[in-house]
């Protein structure tokens, strides 16, 4: 704008607009609510994806020089379900106890697994699936033989033997 001899200002008036920042970068294992435009002093809050948890609340702000201010790096850590429940007469194997890890239960020799053999670490930090049980393998009463017998018992379990006697 220029002051002219008529004592008036002439020319187009300038105008001011807020600084605009580019869309923030996506962080590993995290997301944010996207907007169409990010202006000076706008804040963006990141949230950890399901199965991950933040060490702290994480926000960035659009600064006057059109960059994002970051005070600390975002660290979304996998949820840990802790060690699974041990079962009597059985064991479990797996590669870890964090989100999406799978463990498999097995019984010792002479025991049979009742229930689901696997559990998965869920996004809430709890194992998904009921804990199975190991029960001793049992056999029905042995077959009778012609002209012979055996000493009967109440139960017949894994590796029990029966001695047949001829009449």
Instruction: Provide the b/e sequence for 128-160 (b: ≥16 CB within 10 Å).
Output: ebeebbbeeeeeeeeeeeeeeeeeeeeeeeeee
| Predicted local distance difference test score (pLDDT) of residue 74 | 84
Answer with the residue of higher pLDDT: 56 or 144: 144
Which of the four pLDDT bands, split at 50, 70 and 90, describes residue 62? very high
CA–CA distance, 129 with 126 (Å, rounded to integer): 9
| Residues in contact with 161: Cβ distance below 8 Å, sequence separation at least 6, in sequence order | none
Tokens of 34: 């996207």
pLDDT exceeding 90 applies to what percent of the chain? Answer: 68
CA–CA distance, 19 with 40 (Å, rounded to integer): 5
Which of the four pLDDT bands, split at 50, 70 and 90, describes residue 40? very high
Kindly report, residue by residue over 106-162, the tens digit of the pLDDT: 999 999 999 999 999 999 999 999 999 999 999 999 999 999 999 888 889 888 889
In which element (H, E) is residue 97 found? Answer: none
In which element (H, E) is residue 89 found? Answer: none
């Amino acid at each position: 704008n220029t002051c002219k001899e008529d004592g008036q200002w002439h020319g187009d008036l300038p105008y001011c607009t807020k600084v605009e920042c580019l869309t923030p970068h996506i962080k590993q294992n995290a997301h944010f609510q996207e907007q169409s435009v990010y202006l000076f002093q706008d804040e963006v809050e990141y949230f950890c994806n399901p199965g991950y948890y933040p060490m702290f609340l994480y926000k960035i702000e659009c600064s006057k020089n059109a960059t994002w201010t970051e005070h600390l790096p975002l660290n979304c850590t996998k949820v840990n379900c802790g060690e699974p429940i041990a079962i009597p007469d059985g064991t479990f194997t797996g590669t870890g106890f964090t989100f999406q890890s799978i463990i498999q239960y097995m019984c010792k020799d002479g025991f049979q697994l009742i229930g689901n053999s696997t559990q998965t670490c869920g996004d809430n930090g709890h194992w998904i699936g009921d804990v199975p049980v190991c029960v001793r393998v049992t056999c029905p009463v042995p077959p009778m033989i012609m002209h012979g017998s055996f000493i009967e018992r109440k139960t017949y379990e894994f590796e029990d033997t029966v001695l047949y006697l001829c009449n």
